[in-house]
Each structure stands twice: as structure tokens, then as C-alpha cells.
Amino acid sequence: MMQIDFENYSISPIQEKDAWRLCDLMVSNSERFKSYFPQTLQQNLTPTLAELFVGKKVKEFMRNEEFLFTIKENTNRSIIGLLYVKELKKTEGQGELAYCISYRFEGRGIIKTSVEKIIPWCFRELKLQTLQIIVHHNNLPSKLIAEKNGFVWKRTLPNVHTTGSGEILDMELYELHNPKAIT
């Protein structure tokens, strides 16, 4: 099974055994995740819900429909963050990266490095030509992650995201093109 290691962390595809740890991550960070990850949060509020969610995500991974990776701290194997490769448009060679991290691990460059490590996999294995990151203009850390990984701001997307409280937000679109695709 694919695993990317860096420092004391690892990125690997979601597995059935991750349900309890995923539930723990979501519940302990519910305030943090309710704005930008409301659906993932709702689907992981109890261990039973998390088992259903993980089962679905494992199947989607196997069918190459959507790819959910866990970011684990290697010492105790707890899930400290998630990395999605989603919204795949295979004919256009396009996909979106989304990510979140536990409040206990923010500001350490873990997500920046995780995104950096998953980009080559997206271009090589999924044969994508364009990766997108969609972020709210107030989410400065997420904007910096995109920019530090070479993503370029393209435009504002009006009314494309609904938070857990029902607020509809404009989001900012960042893109990165596969350097091997540019002729």
C-alpha cells in the first residue's frame, strides 16, 4: 500500500481501521472543521457514522472516484489531518485538493509538506494536468499553503460553498498546472 513518510508523519490512503481515529479527529476539532468541512464533520460525529463514511471512502478510492488520505503522527498513529483529491474531471485532467489539520498540529508546515508530497502522485498516477485548491479569502494559512506549493490565484468563485451554519460563501480558486503537460 502506498505511504509517503516525512519527518514524524505519514500520508496514506484511508483504511477501514481508521474510523475511530477519524471520529476522534473530527469531534475534537468540530468547531474548527464546521465552516470548511461541514459534510465530513457531519458524517463522522460518532464511531458508527465514521465506520460508514470510511467504508464509502475506501470504496471510492478503490474505484478511482475520490481519494482520501489520512495524515498520521507516526509515534502514536493518531490521525492529525486529512488530504482529499476530489472533484475529479478526468476528461479535462483536473482535480481538487482539500485539506484540514487538527488544531494541535497547526502552524508546523505539516499540511504544506503533505500537499507538496501528494502533488507528484496526482500528476503521475492520476495523470492530472491541473490541480485546484479552493479556499476562503479569510483562510490565510490555506492561501499560503497553496501559494508556497506553486498554486496561482485565478479568480473568485461566487456562492460556491455552504458552511455548517448554512452561510453561503464566495471562495478563491488557485490552480497548479502539471509542468510536464506544458508544451
Q: Which domains does the chain have, with CATH numbers?
A: 4-129 (3.40.630.30)
90-94: average pLDDT: 91
The predicted structure's pLDDT at residue 183: 46
The model's confidence at residue 74, banded by pLDDT at 50, 70 and 90, is: very high
Burial class for 51, CB neighbours closer than 10 Å (0-12, 13-18, 19+): middle
Q: Helices then strands (H, E): number in the chain?
A: 6, 8
Confidence of residue 99 (pLDDT cuts 50, 70, 90): very high
Q: H/E element holding 111?
A: helix 110-125
